[in-house]
Structure 1
């Protein structure tokens, strides 16, 4: 019922058609986004004649293929015209049986009989801007009312990757290793060159103090990063940039905050009064992966 296709075996026309007509459509499952974020290291599980599909990205660790969501890719999962619990269970069981898994995130629309861990995401569905702004928290609205002096000496600009790169590197938080930062930067660069990424900068006294990074396609704008000069956080430039992006896009596109498990970031997002959209995932420790790998090797010897 379910076939496993390597990258070069995928019928991308059928894949795209299934994704775009699906009840679960997500920008992060598009070929363009996956190709860039995973460096084309993904394959596909297919039900029937592309009636349902499930992209599976992976990395190599010590030459061993391990399923792992790419950087900046929050949700993948199963895509079909209607979400079907029985079919979802087939995909889940196939994934568990045939892969070593570190982290795999399903999308907010996928439901299962199996109990799975969940995480939070926040988004604002398309609406007129006045209605969306009217729902902002009182605190967020206050943050958006800048002092007259700041207004007189500030401006918002869309800038190029080369203009944004050094500021992002200097103000990057949350990456454990230098190579992780380099990988983020590389993905940003490739997405910008593919014309699907925007760098919006808040200038104060002709100096950048905030940059917001958004991915965009025809249906979604996704917040992939906010970078702030820690000496100027009280200016609330990031709030202004996000609000501007919402104002420009929300009449026709979803604004996806991409969630966060960090309390302060979650509180910041919630100030825009987005909708909570939890999603499921499976996650295994390195210890569990090694244990499964050893058991597979033992079985192969029998």
Structure 2
């Protein structure tokens, strides 16, 4: 393999070629597009193979004069993206180049990496190509039972355009569970939502009963996936199965499309069980880490 692998600073990356590579990659993901990285990462550079045949975004920070690769908030997985086959040889070529530029790295490689021995993390997907009736036939028994129970209530599923309120509600109810996400992260992510909303690639839905808000879901859309980036269910909504109802109605709305519903996780058993109930499958992604920091700094990280 003689194609040149080069390290490029963000200012030297051809944004048009970059986004074309991500869009055409068999494993392309929304998080890897330049606009998403520009908003969510304080800094990012990249490893680029040949004429943008394969690319690897490197989101980095600097502390004590030492640069390190990290995972920004609201970015689940990155790694190498390519329209050609992602082989073990190609993966190793990219990963072996990293220590020449960074002393420390802690981030997630996307699902397509043929890497063995790395810790896997669950991410559940549901292809939506079939009809709603066919998709519903794959629902697990306890989900069908819960959905039958929701019919006792006057639940209403509706479209909305209130991403700011949805993000604020998510932060209010669940922010303590992801305490590492900072004010700056939320501010940056709101800009991502605004960008996608302007391009009709933001899907916001809610469940109400007699005008009272019970559950909200916010999804990001590209040409392949609907990413369930944030969902919120209030206590009364949980009692009435509003979250089950919300996802079921989403599936009904987008059934028969070419999209895949990406649940965005999870390793938490209860949440994983909830997603599996809809007939989804696990497409794991992988944790990549190394520490080549000088000796006493190594002990602190």
Q: TM-score if structure 2 supplies the norm length?
A: 0.85
Task: Single out whichever of 96-105 and 22-31 deviates more from structure 2.
Answer: 96-105
220 and 291 in structure 1: CA distance in 2 versus 1, 3 angstrom threshold? same
Matches within 5 A, 1:214-253: 214-250=219-255, 251-253=257-259
Distance 2:30 2:236 in 1: 34
Distance 2:235 2:254 in 1: 28
C-alpha distance after superposition, 1:105-137 (max 9, x if no partner): 11111113x632221111112422322221111
Distance 1:30 1:293 in 2: 37
Conserved 8 A contact 1:191-1:197: no
What RMSD over aligned residues (CA atoms) do the two structures have, in Å?
2.5
2:36 matched to which residue of 1?
Answer: 33
Q: Are residue 54 (structure 1) and residue 56 (structure 2) matched?
A: yes
61 and 208 in structure 1: CA distance in 2 versus 1, 3 angstrom threshold? farther
Matched length? 288
Secondary structure at the aligned position of 1:130 is classed as helix
176 and 72 in structure 1: CA distance in 2 versus 1, 3 angstrom threshold? closer
Secondary structure at the aligned position of 2:74 is classed as coil
Distance 2:253 2:229 in 1: 17
Distance 2:17 2:168 in 1: 40
Which consecutive unaligned segments of at least 5 residues does structure 1 have?
A: 296-302
Distance 1:184 1:140 in 2: 34
1:201 offset after TM fit, Å? 1.6
1:271 offset after TM fit, Å? 0.9
Matches within 5 A, 1:134-149: 134-149=137-152
Secondary structure at the aligned position of 1:224 is classed as strand
1:6 offset after TM fit, Å? 0.8
Conserved 8 A contact 1:23-1:83: no
Task: Single out whichever of 210-219 and 53-62 deviates more from structure 2.
Answer: 53-62
1:167 matched to which residue of 2?
Answer: 169
Which consecutive unaligned segments of at least 5 residues does structure 2 have?
A: none
Distance 2:144 2:185 in 1: 31
2:27 matched to which residue of 1?
Answer: 24
C-alpha distance after superposition, 1:25-45 (max 9, x if no partner): 222212232222225x21110
292 and 150 in structure 1: CA distance in 2 versus 1, 3 angstrom threshold? farther
Distance 2:264 2:110 in 1: 12
Q: TM-score if structure 1 supplies the norm length?
A: 0.85
Conserved 8 A contact 2:158-2:207: yes
Distance 1:293 1:88 in 2: 30
Distance 1:83 1:22 in 2: 10
Conserved 8 A contact 1:83-1:111: yes
1:61 offset after TM fit, Å? 3.5
Conserved 8 A contact 2:217-2:230: yes
1:59 offset after TM fit, Å? 2.7
Conserved 8 A contact 2:150-2:242: no
Of residues 253, 257, 262 in structure 1, which corresponds to 2:263?
Answer: 257
Secondary structure at the aligned position of 2:76 is classed as coil
1:264 offset after TM fit, Å? 1.1
71 and 23 in structure 1: CA distance in 2 versus 1, 3 angstrom threshold? same
2:217 matched to which residue of 1?
Answer: 212
Matches within 5 A, 1:54-93: 54-62=56-64, 64-80=66-82, 81-93=84-96
